Chains A and B, each alone.
Chain A
């Protein structure tokens, strides 16, 4: 019992250390730069307590649920030896987690208003919501495709560097043609699609596959799914922009 308690206490202190920099930065700016007393100090302290507690609980769950599921499914798929299903699983995972992503919904809505202001689509609620849905589907599809492609890469043993550099070249090429308003949104869309729950699951899936398939190294081949999932939306959003607004 004492051992368990010690173990948990140690983990809890680690989490406190994770949060400490945020507290230091905010306190420094409030006291020395803005030279103002803390607004709602009590509420802020309570919030920080919740952050520490929540992160602590999340990390326990991470190690007992998200990692094992990803790895075990990767193992079972590898044993089954059917590439189709694992690629389909990658696509479904990428698509379903992205379409529900709240950050994407917010950004897509902003992009819709922007497109209406620029005169690319009609300034009516209906055509804006159509545009927003189209954008969300585009991003979700591109993330699904990216994870499916990444899984195929692990199976075939393709070089990640070539895929990524090829992708960058295509992004540069598209930037030249894409409407100026969509570029910022496109570049940002890469970063927002990978949420806190998706990342550990996808990482465990990739590493599990690379461990189970003979001739693949977990370090070299297991990573890379998230990289592809962050790059693909950039291209697809720009293509969506070109399709709707036309070439610059």
Chain B
């Protein structure tokens, strides 16, 4: 019960600045009352209570298991690589020993993204304004696949030790080229999907995975190499959503010409 209260206070703290800004602009700039205030106030309560319960559930049921698992999979007992804290930075490691880490990163990235509340919100909006042309499940699976590929590749990078910017800049270049060949309608939505993916669920789990891995792999520093997974998780969904849009376009064009 105490945990729930803490979580509730935390969520209220998060939402307070938003309420102040909205209140200020409603009274000073718009000089209007908020329409349907009771309904909106009740909805706000639902948002706060729902998010608080959700976060407590994550902390109790999902994070401990996920973090423990990430530690076990990258630990020396499982991989057979002795973790040597004195190893020189940039020492090369047998990357195949960590294959289960990449698989785990892929699957947990996919699974947690499907449960990400912010992504559910954007998918609902996308269906509404495209009058059903953009399917919420199609979009969410495309984004989840992107996060999965991103995190999996990101863990591989931590093991191998390549500088982060090599991957990210290559990804940017790929994305820019891809943009020119993508259906225009999807581009802004795809770009937004990068930022949407990494909210409540994904960030803590992914950060734990990155730091756990960087601690266990010899020659990697949790401070330098532990960062970067979130960057991967925000870059790849843009690529997969544009890819999904292209495939959807090709399929519907075929239907038309037939």
Contact = CB atoms under 8 A, between A and B. Distances in A.
Contacts of B32: 76
Interface string A181-210: 101110110111111111111011001000
Contacts, number: 341
A117 B223 contact: yes
Nearest to A52: B57
Interface in B55-104: 55-62, 64-66, 68-69, 72-73, 78, 100, 104
Contacts of A57: 46, 49-50, 53-54
Contacts of A85: 25, 29-30
B199 interface: yes
Q: Find the residue from A69, A97, A172, A188 having the highest chain B CB count within 10 A.
A: A188
Contact of A54 (B41, B51, B64, B169): B51
A64 B57 contact: no
Chain B's interface size range is 35 or more
Contacts of B188: 160, 219-224, 227
B169 A172 contact: yes
Given A47-B60, A73-B22, A196 B192 contact: no
Interface residues of A, number: 107
B187 A160 contact: yes
B7 to A, nearest CB: 9
A245 to B, nearest CB: 14
Interface string A61-78: 111111111001100110
A171 interface: yes
Contacts of A187: 164-165, 168, 227-228, 230-231
Given A73-B26, A199-B199, A51 B61 contact: yes
A209 to B, nearest CB: 12
A56 B117 CA distance: 10
Interface stretch (A1-9, A86-94, A127-135): A86-94
B228 A190 contact: no
A39 interface: yes
Interface of A: 18-19, 21-22, 24-26, 28-30, 33-34, 38-40, 43-69, 72-73, 76-77, 80, 82, 85, 88-89, 92-93, 96-97, 99-103, 110, 113-114, 117, 160-161, 164-165, 168, 171-172, 175, 180-181, 183-185, 187-188, 190-201, 203-204, 207, 211, 218-227, 229-230
B89 to A, nearest CB: 12
A60 B234 CA distance: 27
Given A26-B62, A191-B194, 7 more contacts: A51-B61, A53-B53, A57-B46, A62-B120, A85-B25, A161-B179, A224-B188
